[in-house]
Amino acid sequence: KLDIHVMEKRKEVLSTDHPHTLFAMENLAATCVYLNKSVQAQALLVAVVEKRIEILGLNHKYAQDSI
């Protein structure tokens, strides 16, 4: 629940495009993997990768690390 709360607050305060929001989404995805919620984890990770590529470009280190 805490990861969800952090992610939602960061979206609200920082925007969905902010790097800290994307890191929060990535952390929530890791929690989902740990809890065997692979469908939710995959959806979050795909959203993070797509957003990082959109914002940073395909050749940026963070975008590359996400793939």
The pLDDT score that the predictor gives to residue 10 is: 87
What SS3 string covers the chain?
CHHHHHHHHHHHHHCCCCHHHHHHHHHHHHHHHHCCCHHHHHHHHHHHHHHHHHHHCCCCHHHHHHC
Structural domain boundaries, residue 29: 1-63
Q: CA–CA separation, 15 vs 65, rounded Å? A: 22
And the tokens for 55? 């914002």
Number of independent structural domains in the chain: 1
Q: Is residue 9 within 8 Å of residue 21, measured between CB atoms? A: no
pTM exceeding the 0.85 threshold for the entire prediction: no
Report residue 31's pLDDT band, with 50, 70 and 90 as the boundaries: very high
